[in-house]
Amino acid sequence: MDEPKGRLTKDGIRIYGEADFAGMHVAGKLAAQILDEIAQHVFVGQTTGEIDRLITQMVDDAGAKSATIGYRGYQHASCISVNHVVCHGIPGDKKLKDGDILNIDVTVIVDGWFGDTSRMYVAGNLSRKSERLIEVTHDALMYGIEAARPGNTFGDIGHAIQSYVEGQRMSVVRDFCGHGLGRVFHAPPNVLHYGRAGTGVVLEEGMFFTIEPMVNLGRPETKVLADDWTAVTRDKSLSAQFEHSIGVTSGAPEIFTLSPAGKFHPTYG
């Protein structure tokens, strides 16, 4: 591992410089490109295992590394979370059915920098209620990102997400959060997707972290299955998630994982 760059705040959050933003931009862009490319491989009858195999190949073809293969014993280049799976779904040989909604989460390492992003997809036809869930979740992420400015707090980010989602009569998952990242996968702080405005650590220019809200149509509670990874909604309600890796600047945050093709909606591509 290279020397860590930048200084640490009193809360243990690393502050990065301009060259570091450039490194994150390259890693984030590759992760986003892979999510663009994979859209055409999501269809009824496809397996999540085949989608993961294609992602593994794309990471390899780009000369990059998967951050998830070998991470705490995880063995795949993506997490694929279908319907009531909240996150950390393990790719396998189950075939996608008409109307299934799925989150595909990819983290790559390029030149030591981590790009972590996820989006929603649909196999076949998207129902109105799934579409609404997915739209609310994406909007929630973007409201969270808008709040990521120096002088604001992490509570402001959580509050922006939670107040919007609950106003739409949906719920925010509490059991998983976003995270600092950079030259490591998971670093301080924990980025909660709920909270009170004005509370928590104050954001500073040069902080890198993910925001990755999980939103349920039903109740927020989750449980982890016997495989020790797959998290599902306890009430079996549908769940959606979007994730971006961002860097705090003096103005609007830089979104490292924006889609180069402008794709983010599950019916695009």
Q: Which residues bind ligand MF3 (CB under 6 A)?
A: 68, 71-72, 74, 79, 88, 105, 107, 116, 210, 212, 229, 243
Smallest gap from Cβ 185 to ligand MF3, in A, equals: 7
Q: Which does 74 bind (CB under 5 to 8 A by kind): ligand MF3, Co ion, none?
A: ligand MF3
Residues 6+ apart with CB under 8 A from 192: 154, 157, 158, 174, 177, 178, 200
Question: Coil, helix or strand for 154?
Answer: helix
List the one residue out of 103, 81, 99, 102 whose CA is nearest residue 90.
81
100 interacts with, out of Co ion, ligand MF3, none, CB within 5 to 8 A per kind: none
Q: How far apart are CA 116 and CA 257, in angstroms?
A: 7
Residue 88 contact, options ligand MF3, Co ion, none, Cβ 5-8 Å cut-off depending on partner type: ligand MF3
Cα–Cα–Cα angle for 229, 106, 61, rounded to 5 degrees:
130
| Residues 217/223/224/230 CA torsion (nearest 10 deg) | -10
Partner from Co ion, ligand MF3, none binding residue 33, C-beta < 5-8 Å depending on class:
none
Which residue, 105 or 156, has its beta carbon nearer to Co ion? 105
Q: CB under 5 to 8 A by kind: which of Co ion, ligand MF3, none does 83 bind?
A: none
Q: Name the minimum Å distance from CB 185 to Co ion.
A: 8
Cα(95)–Cα(85) distance, integer angstroms? 15
Choose among 95, 5, 88: nearest CA to 42.
95
- For Co ion, the closer of residues 168 and 175 by Cβ is 175
Answer whether 218's CB lies under 8 Å from 231's CB: no
Instruction: Point out which residues bind Co ion (CB under 5 A).
Output: 105, 116, 210, 243
CA angle 88, 92, 94 (to 5 degrees): 115
Between 20 and 105, name the residue whose CB sits nearer to ligand MF3.
105
CB of 85 to ligand MF3, least distance (A): 12
The nearest distance, CB 57 to ligand MF3, in angstroms, is 17
Nearer to ligand MF3, 71 or 268 (CB): 71
71 binds, among Co ion, ligand MF3, none (CB under 5 to 8 A by kind): ligand MF3
Q: How many residues does the chain have?
A: 269
- Closest to Co ion by CB, 171 vs 241, is 241
